[in-house]
Amino acid sequence: MRCLSAVSDTESVSHENIQSAMYRVIQILGSTDLPLVRYATGFLCNVAARNRDNKAYLCENKAIENLMRVLEVLSSSTQVPTKLSWIYQEIFDNTLLAISNLTSNYNVVGYIQHACRQVFFMKLHDFGQLCKLRLSKNQIL
């Protein structure tokens, strides 16, 4: 993953078909391995910056939703160990840059609205399930 992240900003990669690599990297965003997520977000940040086809492929394969979930996980982390705070910050920065690169000079407004709604409604659904669980526990007591 480190290798992919390192070469992803070179000019030669912007002309290659790297769809299978991009697909796998999108899947890695759900990992709990912080260094892996760090390299994955760096890779996506770079490949989305220069190539319109890469942007289209990443959007079609839910990269924005997955990047938003990375932000959600980072923001819900209540206690970040001091020795890991730098990696959280780098993942956060890479994720924001990747979203920015995916959305700049590319007509994805409707797609982004849909992605935001999807993440928001999932949170509402999860909240509703949590409320039901709490209510059922209170009824038992």
The candidate with the shortest Cα–Cα distance to 10, out of 44, 58, 46, is 46
One-character DSSP codes across 18-54: -HHHHHHHHHHTT-S-HHHHHHHHHHHHHHHHH-HHH
Lowest mean pLDDT across 6-20, 36-50, 93-107: 6-20
User: 10 Å Cβ neighbour count for 110?
Assistant: 8
User: For residue 106, what pLDDT is reported?
Assistant: 61
- Domain definitions of the chain by residue range: 2-108
Give 99: exposed, middle or buried? Use CB within 10 Å, 0-12, 13-18, 19+: buried
* Predicted confidence (pLDDT) at residue 18 exceeds the cutoff of 90: no
Average pLDDT over residues 87-105: 89
Structure-model confidence comparison of residues 71 and 110, the more confident one: 71
* Predicted confidence (pLDDT) at residue 73 exceeds the cutoff of 90: no
If you ran DSSP here, which 8-state letter would residue 58 be given?
Answer: H
